[in-house]
Amino acid sequence: MSQWMSRFGKPAIRALGGALIAGTLLWSLATAGQAADIPRGKHGDATAEYQLERLQKLAPYSDFTKSPTGFDPVVWAAFVPEDNKLTPERVELGRKLYFDTRLSRDGTVSCATCHDVTRGFTDQRPVSEGIGGQLGKRNAPTTLNAALLQTQFWDGRSPDLDHQARQPILNPVEMGMPDEAAALKAIRDIPEYQVSFKKAYGRELNYEDLGRAIGAFERTLIFVDSPFRKFLDGDSAAISPQARAGFELFNGKGRCMTCHPMNPSNPLGTDNRFHNIGVSARHQDFEGLAKKALKAMAEDASEQKLDELAVGTDLSELGRFMVSRNRADIGSFRTPQILNIGITGPYMHDGSLATLWDVIDHYNKGGEANPFLDGGIEPLALTEEEIDQLVAFLFTLTDVRFAEENQREFERQQAAAKKQRPVRNDELAKRKTLPFEQRVAGAKNKDK
């Protein structure tokens, strides 16, 4: 039990009237996929104090004279910008900023609200909640290992972490600062920051360095030490026979590795490219949206506007098209990393799939038919046993430091999947009906 539990939890539960109720209460909180005994704030995120304590126990990368364990120094150097070498001062400043709600307009939201240490460095919600309880249109990816991605955001509209960190602060549905000056004003008069910025970058506080510091902190969040990695390194008993069968399916019948390559030189499991796998096709009129997007972007072509449209409007569903304006990119999103996937649900750019069983059901039926669907997506005819094997494999990709959370989430998802498999479609998976036939048959057969 945490400190909080002994301080507030027990008396509160006693007041509710006894062990039975306490059991029910803890159980119902636990079914939300998150530990019940964590002190939480307004947006469901753990308090900053609690998150920082947990972060320390996780022991992120901290000896900057060496590359992180398992990384070749030359490879690692490619992920660190020339103008932002890692130093303890920069990382410490970035950590402060990451947890500081003063960077949001109403003082309730920080990066850690949506990229919460206790929730797999995401928020474990379908879409994120920002200032004033506003909901965005996209699912928050994890900041774990984001340093290793070639582009940032689902549509890759940001080139790196230092640049990425400057966007959410100004986004109206996330942290909502009207402009850079307002963001700086919120922290400029805090003596501690004046000193830390000087120490970290040798100059006065400014918006670019703010982004750099947060980026530096995020580069310490390297969590690639999974049971699967031990397996790849030669310890064949590190994962179960069921998960090993899953890995074979991943590389074979499931064809997952064509977009999610998983090997020692590519630990993340992403090709860093953009594909339409038929997630956003569920309810979209792509042509209409594309017209609207081009018009909106002709009126205002700024980076900030693009961020606003992508996160806060229906145009979100166009994905990479909003960046490239290439029709072939309509509805396509960057292949996400699949490390730590067990603890970062719900899944997909819109958070529309609740469990990893749902994810495999989606692929098994060949995605949602649409004119822009990637050629690599087609019905897979996986059996129930094979689906379980693939899921077992995916749960071996979580860093061992999150083993407990991973196990808890596995059990929660398994129970949920036993009750409900909303996107399962055996007819399509086994090719008894073909996707285009179902499309032609019209809405009455859709989603069956």
User: What letters, b where the CB count within 10 A reaches 16 and e where it falls short, cover 35-60?
Assistant: beebbebebbbbbbebbbeebeeeeb
Q: Smallest distance from the beta carbon of 176 to ligand HEC, in angstroms?
A: 9
CA distance 356 to 338: 11
C-beta closer to ligand HEC: residue 149 or 290: 149
CA distance 406 to 356: 12
C-beta closer to ligand HEC: residue 229 or 349: 349
Q: What are phi and psi of 336, to 5 degrees?
A: -75, 155
- 3-state SS of 394-420 is HCCCCCHHHHHHHHHHHHHHHHHHHHC
Residues in the site for ligand HEC, rule: CB under 6 A?
Answer: 109, 111, 113-115, 128, 130, 136, 138, 140-141, 143, 146, 149, 152-154, 161, 164-165, 168-169, 174-175, 214, 254-256, 258-260, 275, 277, 279-280, 310-311, 333, 335-336, 338, 341, 344, 347-349, 356, 359, 363, 374, 376-377, 390, 394
C-beta closer to ligand HEC: residue 136 or 267: 136
C-beta closer to ligand HEC: residue 38 or 387: 387
CA distance 308 to 304: 6
User: CA 164, 167, 170 angle in degrees (round to 5)?
Assistant: 165
Q: Smallest distance from the beta carbon of 326 to ligand HEC, in angstroms?
A: 16
269: its two tokens: 């499991």
CA 151 → CA 5, 144, 177, 333, distances in Å?
Answer: 40, 14, 24, 11
CB-side neighbour CA atoms (13 Å) of 52:
11
Q: Smallest distance from the beta carbon of 303 to ligand HEC, in angstroms?
A: 13
C-beta closer to ligand HEC: residue 271 or 427: 271
Q: What are phi and psi of 425, to 5 degrees?
A: -150, 90
CA distance 77 to 62: 15
Q: Smallest distance from the beta carbon of 287 to ligand HEC, in angstroms?
A: 18
User: What letters, b where the CB count within 10 A reaches 16 and e where it falls short, cover 390-414?
Assistant: bbbbbbbbbbebbeebbebbbebbe
C-beta closer to ligand HEC: residue 224 or 311: 311
C-beta closer to ligand HEC: residue 48 or 390: 390
Q: Smallest distance from the beta carbon of 137 to ligand HEC, in angstroms?
A: 8
Q: Smallest distance from the beta carbon of 335 to ligand HEC, in angstroms?
A: 4
What residues contact residue 385 under an 8 Å CB cut-off, 6+ apart? none
Q: Smallest distance from the beta carbon of 302 to ligand HEC, in angstroms?
A: 16
Q: Smallest distance from the beta carbon of 292 to ligand HEC, in angstroms?
A: 17
C-beta closer to ligand HEC: residue 258 or 407: 258
